[in-house]
Each structure stands twice: as structure tokens, then as C-alpha cells.
Chains A and B, each alone.
Chain A
Amino acid sequence: MLKIEDLHVEVEGREVLRGINLEIGPGQTCVLFGPNGSGKSTLLATIMGFGQFKVTQGRIFFQGKDITNMPIDERARMGIGMLLQRPPNVVGLKLGDLVKAASCQDVDVSHLAEDFRMKAFLDRDVNVGFSGGELKRSELLQLTAQNPRFLLLDEPESGVDMESIDLVGEKIHDLLYDTKQCGREKENESVSALIITHTGEVLKYIGADCAYIIRDGKIRCSGRPMDLLKEIKDKGYGECIACRMVKI
């Protein structure tokens, strides 16, 4: 589904990703761990195609097609969708209008928003004054309307309070597995995902097939999500065996 070969990425003239190789198959979900500033968000944003992130070397393939230089909207139309860690404010644009414009087909926006406890926000300017949890719910609402085949979720659970965490978890679950979503009649069209998480909280709601630890712009370890998570929780990133080996 997604294949990344020797990806090097510069942000503001500084190399942030330094040779990433990654492959995610159809229906596979992978999680990405790594300390702050290691390049996790940069990797997701580069897959989405945001302009600040300049690919200086390597290639990204999606469904067999080289998308390294493809415009963002074309990637979105191919089925890539992203939950941003820090989505921008858009003053003057109503959330309801954005959800409608993002919808894969005619969805009942207000009905959908109710499910996300976001109905009261449809008339508000996109992201302006939203709390941490509201931002995530708003992002998930937009994604659900958009209905992507490949999910890029950048810290979907961080900043979400106890009250909303179940809702956020369930909605991510639905994005991955709910076959009743629009245009998903064909059961074999399973959804893939690449998810950044610090706490692993999201893994209570979905299953993940593989996990990677990224550090200083390179993938240092891979393994089973729960094993890696346990190792990070016990010993921290600094003690992670493979990472230590790289340092020596």
C-alpha cells in the first residue's frame, strides 16, 4: 500500500529525516514511536505532501504509484488522510462547511457531527479556540467525512481528556474497520494506518501489526507494538538496545 525508500527530508534547510525505509501493506496498521523532535510528524507530513517538507532524496510509493512529487489534493483523492498534531486555525471558515467540502459523498453533516459531540462546533471557525480534545474530535470528524483508505494519525490521543478518550478511540476504530462508512461496501478494501503515539493509549481500541522507533531521523528499531512499548516504558528511548547500538 505504502512504500518508502531511503527518504531524506529537509525542513527550513535542515535535514530532519535521514534515510527512512518503510513498508505498510493493505489493511496493516503500524505505530511510530520516538522521542520529541525525532522526525515523526515530519514523516507523516511528508507522506501527505505538505510543502514545508522538502524531499531531497528517496521516493514514496502509494498503491504502486510514485507520489513523491504529487500535489496534496491528489494524494488526498487517492485515499490518504491525515489527522494533524497541530492543525491551523482558519478564521472565517465554518467547520460545517469544511466537513461538507471534505465529504466523499453527500453526508448529513449535522447528524455525523452529533456522533462526535461536535454539533455545536459546526458554526464555529475551524479550530479557532478549540481545546485539545475538541481539536482531535474535529480532525476525526473531518477524516470520517473524507473516508480515506490510508490513515496518517499524528498523536490522536494526546491532549484528550478522560471523558473524550473513549470517543476518540472508538472513532479511530471505526475509521479503520467500519465497513458501513460511505463507499466501503466492498469488504476487501481494508484500511491501513500509520499512527504516532507516545502512550500507546490508542492501542486499546485498535490492533496494530508492527511498530517502529524513530530517532534522529532514522528508524532504529522495529518490532511488535506491545513489546516495543513495554521496552520504552521500562527503559526509555535511550536504553532501547538497537538505538544504543547505533550510538556506539
Chain B
Amino acid sequence: MTHVIQRLGAWTIARVADLGRMLNFLLYAVYVCVADPVRPRHIIKQISFIGAKSSFVIVLTAGFTGMVLGLQGYYTLTKFGSEGMLGVAVALSLIRELGPVLSALMVTGRAGSAITAEIGIMRISEQIDALETMALEPFKYLVSPKLIASLLALPLLCAIFDLVGIWGGYLVGVRLLGVNPGAYFGEMKNSVEWQDVYSGMIKSLSFGVIIAWVCCYKGYYTGHGAEGVSRATTGAVVLSSVLILIWDYFITSVLL
């Protein structure tokens, strides 16, 4: 029995220490971003990787998410005879919730895992040590550009997600199921407020930080060898996704 309690205690202490190290990592990364500005070309390269190259998968998932929202929304709303509200339902769920969350999850899977693998491999092959011996700050080259790029790219990807999703809802609701197009967009214009867009963007920005933070951290402190890197990568995707969903709940309850 005491054995179990001991193990539990050790586990808890290790997790808390880990959390402290993670917070330190983030604070130091922010400090380096401010104190030692990154060259624009490094940021642009990362925006291209995290943002531009994710846009295809974002468009694809957004299209189908919008279409399924059109179907489900229509099915529910006809029960109350208010299928004219379909545009509002689709737009609000996308802008407030699904756009930021799903785009962040897609980016985690696509770019986040690659970030962890890249930094992890640099760690195990002593490339990070090599940077240090040149008196260069590894965070400036490995973490800052990714943090800034992800902060910029996520809201933009989210905006694309919202637009394409609304268009997907239109395709199914209006073109396929015959909702009045005037009602679809008219009601949307009347009901979606600046506040909704704004809260979605806030979410997106914070998800951008979570992705870069968790994925860089996991790579930076990877385990040994190919297996260590692969474990770090899996861990990064899981932790980043879970944190996104948990943070989403808290930030929603504050922003509502």
C-alpha cells in the first residue's frame, strides 16, 4: 500500500516538475522572441511550412465540416420549421468553435508533429549543442520563428476554415436541400457579431501558442535515439490536442 502511495507521489512530483520546466520553456521562448529578434526570412519560412502548406488540408476538412453542419443543421432546424436560420447555425458554430479548434487540431497533426521530429533529431545528433558552442542561442533559431509563425498562421488558417465551411454549408443547405439563399446569408449577416469573430480569433491565437510551445518543448527534451524522437512526436501531438480542447473550454467560459 505504502508502495503504491510512494509511486503515486513520485509520479506526481515528476509531472509537476515537468510542468514547471514547460512553463519556463515558454517564458524563455517569449523572452528570446522579444530580446533577440528573429530574421524575417526565418519566420517566413516557418509560416510557409506551418501555414501555407497546411492550407490544403484545412480547406478539405473545412469543406466537409461545413457540409455536415449543413446536413445536421437542416435536419434539426426543419423540426422547428426554422430552416431559414441554417446560415446562422453554420456560421456561428464554425466561427466561434469549430473553425479555431479543428484548424488547430489539423495543424497539430500536420506541422506540430514535424516540428517535434525536427527539433528532436537536431537534439540527438548534437546540432543543438553545435549551435551552443558557436555562442548562438538555439531558441532563436529553433523556437522563436516557429512560435511567431504559428501565432500568425493559426488565425489566418482559421479564417480560411470559417469561409470554406460556410461555403460548404451553403452547398448542402441551399443547393442540395433548397434553403432560401437570401435567408442563409441574410440571417447570417444579422446575427453574427464582431464579438463572435473576435472570440474565434483569440482562440486561434492561443492555440497557435499551444502548438508551437508543446511541440518545440517535446522535441527539445526528446529521449534517446529514433525511438525517443518517435515517442516525443506522439506525445507532442497528444498533449497539444488535449491542451487545445481543455483550454478551449476555459477560454470559452471566459469569453462567453
Whether A and B are associated in the same complex: the answer reads no
A→B interface (CB under 8 Å): none
